[in-house]
Amino acid sequence: MKTWDAELVQQQTPRNPPFVTPATRLKKDDELRKRYVETMEGYVQKGYAKRAPISEAPETGKVWYLPHHPVLSDKKPGKVRVVFDCAAKYGGTSLNEQLLHGPDLSCNLVGVLCRFRQSQVAIVLDIECMFYQVNVRDQDRDYLRFL
């Protein structure tokens, strides 16, 4: 992680978060709110997230609250996906801008397709909720808070 501007980060106190949950949209749609809450509670139950009371926010001010919103798909009716917006800006910066960027580790599609044809059997899989299963160091967890 890059060096944070302490003054900027201290503006984001738990009592005055730069972003709020999508309260307006969720207040208008009871069914969406119910499914959204169930999805978020599922993240806690599965261990993808843990409750961090506002009273436990670091006093140094090094905390970032991720904005999030529900996304619905016609292909998966009844399922609510929570999207966290790390590119959202506050005070002229975003979480994405503060992260150190490593090399692009994604595979070249042409190479994948060529290797796919090399053998008689191919295996394809999709790991559900992969993003949520990435381990985050304890000292970096306060940058990934959400309300």
Q: Measure the CA–CA gap between 61 and 13, rounded to whole angstroms.
A: 7
% of the chain at pLDDT higher than 90:
11
On whether residue 129 sits in a domain, the answer given is no
Residue 6 confidence class, pLDDT cut points 50, 70, 90: very low
pTM: 0.69
The domain total for the chain is 1
Whether 14 is covered by a domain: the verdict is yes
Domain-embedded: residue 65: yes
In a domain, 44, yes or no: yes
Q: Which residues contact 38 (CB under 8 A, 6 or more apart)?
A: 80
What is the per-residue pLDDT across 8-62, written as a single tens digit (0 to 9) for each? 443 444 444 545 556 678 888 899 999 999 999 999 999 999 888 777 777 766 7
10 with 137: CB under 8 angstroms? no
- Token look-up 């003054």 returns 7
75 is a domain residue: yes
The answer as to whether 17 is a domain residue is yes
Q: Is residue 22 part of a domain?
A: yes
Count CB atoms within 10 A of the CB of residue 78: 8
3-class state of residue 42 by DSSP: helix
Nearest Cα neighbor of 32 from 76, 81, 74, 68 is 81
Q: Whole domain around residue 91: which residue ranges? A: 6-105+136-144
* In-domain check, residue 123: no
Distance, CA of 141 to CA of 144 (rounded, Å):
5
Beta strands in the chain (DSSP E): 68-72, 80-84
pLDDT, residue 19, reads 52
d(C-alpha 66, C-alpha 104), whole Å: 24
